[in-house]
Structure 1
Amino acid sequence: MLPHQQQLQLSSFSSLYDLIVPKDNLLRQINELIDFQFIYQELVNKYCLNNGRMAESPIRMFKYLLLKTIYTASDVDIVERSRYDMSFKYFLDMSPEEAVINPSSLTKFRKLRLKDTDLLNLLIGKTVSIALEKGIIKSKSIIVDATHSLSRSNPYSALDVLRERSKLLRKAVYAIDKDMKGYLPEKNTSNDLQDELIYCRELERRISSEQTLSSIPAVKEKLNLLKETLEDTEENHILSTDLDARIGHKSADSSFFGYKTHLAMTEERIITAAVVTSGEKGDGPELPKLLEISQNNGIEVDTIIGDSAYSGKENLKLKDNQGQNIQVVAKLNPSITQGFRKDEDKFDYNKDADMFVCPAGHMAIKKVRNGRKDVGTNQVDTYFFDIEKCKICALKDNCYKPEAKTKSYSVSIQSNLHQQQMIFQESEYYKEKARQRYKIEAKNSELKNVHGYNRAISYGIDSMQMQGALAIFTVNLKRIIKLNL
């Protein structure tokens, strides 16, 4: 049962927070920045208002999950820290002497209360509205990119994950007490998952029974991590390969198994939209959706900045979509402008002369277009060079065939859109905006390296979306706080 209204916890000790939690503490700043009542309004229908045991506040439960993302820790460790860390208690709206929740409540909250909730768009929309309200977002450009997250079951099987976790735990124990080697169970040597589960459970039991040892932070953290992995594996080991994850490619010879999160971000580094897909999905097709979500969140967009993955024909059409006149700052795929040529064989395009210049610096003298227009066949522009210059050129060995009567260079032109984009790529506006793209790569790095977004913490795309929602909510709040100082 959920109370009809949230009640403020009053305590004679609450004044301690003013002494202990400084004004520049991140959690205090977040509490002062945002009213979390929107979480209550979103989840109130998931609770019974007049029957059953009194439920924990959904706002407090959500804040626990947010703490997990901010500090990248297990459920058990976050709850334990909230027992003695006054900044945690302040953030959770607890009185200093109040008891903490049971860590298992967080699992139930994720599975029962957050299920079927569009948390990703809810949290992004909330932070964007705060940024707009405070006048932080002034640009009309969004930078787009996709970042990958490895599946929880990648690159190891459930068996390998358990072995790695138990290895880290034993290592932490031996660093403190080498004599424990004779007390711990003999390692499992078979490749049977059930045998490994039995071994890890026994390892956990014996170390937990040594209360002095298991209470040491270095051991306790590894022990809690093994417990959490055991529980998750016992529930999901039949599906040890994540059914929603797929193999994607970071490059021609580098692959990963997991998910992609497609992001849109303003030049002020506020994420305005996100779409989570399986790893094999292309980046370009998600652009219209990112644009639509950003606009629905109140962002005015006149320029989209991305890499060549976003230069597809459908995305270039966004320029004239519904009269929006949106520029797409995305370099055309080299196969469009130069064909599949090696770097040393590529010619430079001179937009003013509308001619290509060879590596030796000679400009074409004539251009001819071949191919029938609008019949489904690509047209080709062929540029002809002065053959007399080619005969005496220092680079002729790699370029000019002896006795050839002509020297030409051909470029496939698939549409007028591509021609317009080639010209746009040479403009100062394009070059200025293209220099902003690094910002989203830095944001991807923050999500992965600071907030654990390099790997999924659970199985399935729904869990990945929840993880993404909390990670993006966190980095947006931190950015707003920084810009609002």
Structure 2
Amino acid sequence: MLERQPSLPLSAHDELYEMLIPEDNFLRQMKELVDFHFIEDELKDKYCLDNGRNAESPVRMFKYLLLKQIYDLSDADLVERARYDLSFKYFLDLVPEASVIHSSSLTKFRRLRLQDKDLMDMLVEKTVALALEHDVLKSNSIIVDATHTTSRFHAKTAREYVQEKSKLLRKTVYKHHESLKEKFPAKPTTDSLEEELTYTNAVINVIEKEEHVKQLPAVKEKINMVKEVIEDIEEEADYGGDPDARKGYKAADYSFLGYKTHIAMSDERIITAAVVTSGEKSDTNYLSELIENTEKNGVVVDTVIGDTAYSSKNNLNYVQDKGMQLVSPLHPVITNGKRGEDKGFEFNKDADMYVCPAGHLATKKAIKKRQDTSKNAQLKYYFDVEKCKVCPLRAGCYKEGAKTKTYSVTVKSTEHLAQESFQETEEFKRLARERYKIEAKNSELKYRHGFKNANSSGLFGMKIQGAATIFVANMKRIIKLMNEN
């Protein structure tokens, strides 16, 4: 049964919060600024409202989730810190002497209560509303880009990932008690995931029998991390790595396995919309969604700034119909239409190559001169024909028996003369210089908020991580801007 979470209950020790938590503490500022009961309103359909045992407040559970993201802790370490960190307890609306949840409750909350909820849109909308309410979001321009997040399992199998974490645990133990090495079981001799899990659990059992070793903070942290990885893997009966991660490209010779987060950000560096996808998705296709979500969140948009990935024909027509300016340099390839029979081929501006519908990158390109000199030259892109021969999407794309597979586009289209003229103006150049702000924001998300690597497997987990990360990043920015005013 769901019972509305009350405000902080009375306690003989609640004066400790006023004495020990400074007014500029981020958790204190966020708690005082945000009414988190909107979480309860959004999740109430996931709870029984009139019978059964009282459930832990969804507001408090969500706050645990935010703390996990802010401080990059495993579930077990998060709960342990919440026992003694008064700033955590204050943020969680717990009196100093109150008990905390069991770490398994947080796992269940993520998997059972947040399913089918668009957490990203909900949290971004809330932060944008706060920014507008406190008059720190005033601009009518947005900057768009996509940042990639590497899969938790990278290109590794689940066995290799468990093996890696198990090795880190053992190395940490050896730094303090190398003699314990003799008590560990023999390492697996096969590539079986089950054997690796059995071995790793046995290693943990040996360590936990040594009380003086398992209580060491560094060892305890590694044990909790390994246990969380094992739990995630065992949760999925047909586990095979990261099932939703896909290969994307940052350059012709640099790929990643993971996800993309497509972002729109205001000039004040507040994220106004975001969409999480698998890694192979093209930036081009998400411009309209980012603009529409930004407008839905209450921001008036008249200018959109982006890199060459966004200067497609469809995007130019879209922003023109909405009466907006698109500050995105034309690319001689991306501005052209597609041949009808080759639908699904998309240009990847990072690799400067086309990607086929199956996600394979072209291997090379060449200029093709037309016999009719009145027509513009074409760029011909070559794909690995051996992959085409066995591709599940080859029907209608690859002609059986063909020795090559190519895709050609006209180098320059006459449909973009207005944009070509605009990008030569001083206004375009001035606005384009603002794009560095979103590069800095992407770097902040990756290196200050742990968004470089996924902390769970699957698109669902990535969406939760993305939503929590962007909420925290926006709140920090809003609080900073409010303090500067």
TM-score range, shorter chain: 0.7 to 0.9
**What letter matches 2:155 in structure 1?**
P
Specify the alignment match of 1:451 in structure 2.
449
Specify the alignment match of 1:404 in structure 2.
none
What is the CA-CA distance between 1:187 and the residue it aligns to? 2.3
- Whole-angstrom CA distance in 1 between matches of 2:227 and 2:462: 21
Specify the alignment match of 1:359 in structure 2.
none
Specify the alignment match of 2:163 in structure 1.
163
Question: Does 2:409 match 1:414?
Answer: no
Q: 1:247 to 1:379 in 2, by over 3 A?
A: closer
Could you tell me which runs of 5 or more consecutive residues in structure 2 were left unpaired when the two chains were aligned.
336-371, 379-409
What is the CA-CA distance between 1:103 and the residue it aligns to? 0.3
Specify the alignment match of 1:252 in structure 2.
252
> Which whole-Å deviations, capped at 9, do the CAs of 1:87-109 have from their partners, x for residues lacking one?
00111010000011000000110
Is the contact between residue 304 and residue 329 of structure 1 (CA under 8 Å) also seen in structure 2?
yes
Specify the alignment match of 1:484 in structure 2.
482
- Whole-angstrom CA distance in 2 between matches of 1:161 and 1:11: 46
What fraction of aligned residue pairs are identical, expressed as a percent? 54
1:317 counterpart SS class: helix
What is the CA-CA distance between 1:5 and the residue it aligns to? 5.4
Is the contact between residue 272 and residue 294 of structure 2 (CA under 8 Å) also seen in structure 1?
yes
2:138 counterpart SS class: coil
What is the CA-CA distance between 1:269 and the residue it aligns to? 0.5
- Whole-angstrom CA distance in 2 between matches of 1:169 and 1:222: 5
Specify the alignment match of 1:309 in structure 2.
309
- Whole-angstrom CA distance in 2 between matches of 1:480 and 1:465: 22
**What letter matches 1:43 in structure 2?**
L
Q: Bigger CA drift: 5-14 or 110-119? A: 5-14
Specify the alignment match of 1:141 in structure 2.
141
- Whole-angstrom CA distance in 2 between matches of 1:53 and 1:171: 44
Q: Bigger CA drift: 428-437 or 228-237? A: 228-237
Specify the alignment match of 2:213 in structure 1.
213
Is the contact between residue 312 and residue 334 of structure 2 (CA under 8 Å) also seen in structure 1?
no
Question: Does 2:456 match 1:464?
Answer: no
Q: 1:295 to 1:378 in 2, by over 3 A?
A: farther
> Which whole-Å deviations, capped at 9, do the CAs of 1:137-191 have from their partners, x for residues lacking one?
1211110001111222222111111111111111111111121111222222321
Is the contact between residue 413 and residue 419 of structure 1 (CA under 8 Å) also seen in structure 2?
no
What is the CA-CA distance between 1:332 and the residue it aligns to? 0.7
- Whole-angstrom CA distance in 2 between matches of 1:476 and 1:189: 48
Q: Bigger CA drift: 82-91 or 440-449? A: 440-449
TM-score normalised by the chain length of structure 1 = 0.83
Specify the alignment match of 1:193 in structure 2.
193
Number of residue-to-residue matches in the alignment: 417
- Whole-angstrom CA distance in 2 between matches of 1:196 and 1:13: 48
- Whole-angstrom CA distance in 2 between matches of 1:83 and 1:49: 29
TM-score normalised by the chain length of structure 2 = 0.83
What is the CA-CA distance between 1:378 and the residue it aligns to? 5.9
Is the contact between residue 333 and residue 412 of structure 2 (CA under 8 Å) also seen in structure 1?
no
> Which whole-Å deviations, capped at 9, do the CAs of 1:387-427 have from their partners, x for residues lacking one?
xxxxxxxxxxxxxxxxxxxxxxxx954133x1111111111
What is the CA-CA distance between 1:336 and the residue it aligns to? 7.2
Is the contact between residue 265 and residue 272 of structure 1 (CA under 8 Å) also seen in structure 2?
yes
Specify the alignment match of 1:226 in structure 2.
226
- Whole-angstrom CA distance in 2 between matches of 1:423 and 1:328: 13
- Whole-angstrom CA distance in 2 between matches of 1:289 and 1:309: 15
> Which whole-Å deviations, capped at 9, do the CAs of 1:201-226 have from their partners, x for residues lacking one?
10111111222211111111111111
Specify the alignment match of 2:242 in structure 1.
242
Is the contact between residue 8 and residue 95 of structure 2 (CA under 8 Å) also seen in structure 1?
no
Specify the alignment match of 1:95 in structure 2.
95
- Whole-angstrom CA distance in 2 between matches of 1:426 and 1:151: 40
1:146 counterpart SS class: strand
1:333 to 331, 353, 356: 331
Aligned-residue CA RMSD in angstroms?
Answer: 2.0
Specify the alignment match of 1:37 in structure 2.
37
Question: Does 2:430 match 1:432?
Answer: yes
2:274 counterpart SS class: strand
- Whole-angstrom CA distance in 2 between matches of 1:27 and 1:5: 18
Is the contact between residue 82 and residue 89 of structure 2 (CA under 8 Å) also seen in structure 1?
yes
Is the contact between residue 146 and residue 283 of structure 2 (CA under 8 Å) also seen in structure 1?
yes
